[in-house]
Amino acid sequence: MYYIGVDLGTSALKLVMMNSKGELVKSVSKEYPIYFPHSGWSEQKPEDWFIAVKEGLKEICEGAKEKIAGISFGGQMHGLVILDKDDNVLRPAILWNDGRSTEETDYLNNVIGKEKLSKLTANIAFAGFTAPKILWVKNNEPEIFAKISKIMLPKDYISYMLSGSFATDYSDASGMLLLDVKNKKWSSEMIEICSISENMLPKLFESFEVVGNIKPELAKELGLNEDIKIIAGAGDNAAAAIGTGTVGEGACNISLGTSGTIFISSQNFGVDKYNALHSFDHSDGKYHLMGCMLSAASCNKWWMEDILKTKDFSKEQENIDNLGENKVFFLPYLMGERSPHNDPAARGTFIGMSMDTKREDMTLAILEGVTFGLRDSLEVARSLGIEIKKTMICGGGAKSALWKKLVANIMNVEVEVPVSEEGPGFGAAILAAVGCKEYESVEAATKSIIKIKERIQPEPELVAKYEERYQKFRKIYPALKGIFKEIL
Catalytic residue among 236, 284, 361, 376: 236
Q: What digits encode the pLDDT tens for the residues 69-84? A: 999 999 999 999 999 9
Percent of the residues in the chain that have a pLDDT greater than 70, as a whole number = 100
CA distance 166 to 361: 50
Strand ranges, E, within 222-296: 229-231, 234-235, 252-256, 260-266, 278-281, 287-293
Confidence band, pLDDT 50/70/90 cuts, at residue 165 = very high
Integer Cα distance of 173 and 175 in angstroms: 5
Task: Give the confidence band of 422 by pLDDT, cuts at 50, 70, 90.
Answer: confident
Q: How far is CA 198 from the centre of its chain?
A: 25
Please give the backbone phi and psi of residue 278, each rounded to the nearest 5 degrees, phi first: -75, 140
Asked if pLDDT for residue 485 goes beyond 90, the answer is no
For the question of residue 236 being annotated catalytic, the response is yes
Residue 39 pLDDT grade (very low, low, confident, very high; cuts 50, 70, 90): confident
Residue 338: per-residue pLDDT? 86
Judge contact between 185 and 204, C-beta under 8 A: yes
Task: Using DSSP, state whether 181 is helix, strand or coil.
Answer: coil
In this predicted structure, what is the pLDDT of residue 420? Answer: 81
Count of other CB atoms within 10 angstroms of residue 438 = 20
Within 20-129, strands assigned E span: 24-31, 43-44, 68-75, 81-83, 93-94
What distance in Å separates the CA atoms of residue 195 and residue 145, rounded to the nearest whole number? Answer: 10
In contact, 6 and 155? CB cutoff 8 Å: yes
**DSSP symbols for 298-326:** HHHHIIIIIIS----HHHHHTT---TT--
The two beta strands, 252-256 and 167-169, are unpaired
User: For residue 391, what is the enclosing H or E element?
Assistant: strand 390-394
Residues forming a β-bridge with 416: 392, 455
**469-484 tens-digit pLDDT:** 999 999 999 999 999 9
| Mean confidence (pLDDT) of the chain | 95
pLDDT of residue 57: 97
Q: What predicted TM-score, i.e. pTM, was given to this entire model?
A: 0.89
- Residue 102 pLDDT grade (very low, low, confident, very high; cuts 50, 70, 90): very high
Question: Per residue in 243-280, pLDDT tens?
Answer: 999 998 889 999 998 889 999 999 889 898 888 899 99
DSSP conformation class of 259: S
Provide the CB-side half-sphere exposure for 447 (13 A, CA). 8
DSSP 277-294: SEEEE-TTSSEEEEEEES
Confidence (pLDDT) at 274: 84
Contacts of 408 (CB under 8 A, 6+ apart): 414, 415, 456, 457, 458, 459
For residue 254, the model assigns a pLDDT of: 95
Who wins on pLDDT, 359 or 249? 359
CA angle 262–207–179, rounded 5-degree value: 75
The yes-or-no verdict on residue 123 having pLDDT over 80 is: yes
User: What does DSSP say about strands 81-83 and 150-152: parallel, antiparallel, or unpaired?
Assistant: antiparallel
E strand map for 9-105: 12-19, 24-31, 43-44, 68-75, 81-83, 93-94
The answer on pLDDT for 134 being more than 90 is yes
Element (H, E) at 481: helix 476-487
What gap in Å lies between CA 288 and CA 119, rounded to an integer? 17
Burial class (CB within 10 angstroms; exposed 0-12, middle 13-18, buried 19+) of 358:
middle
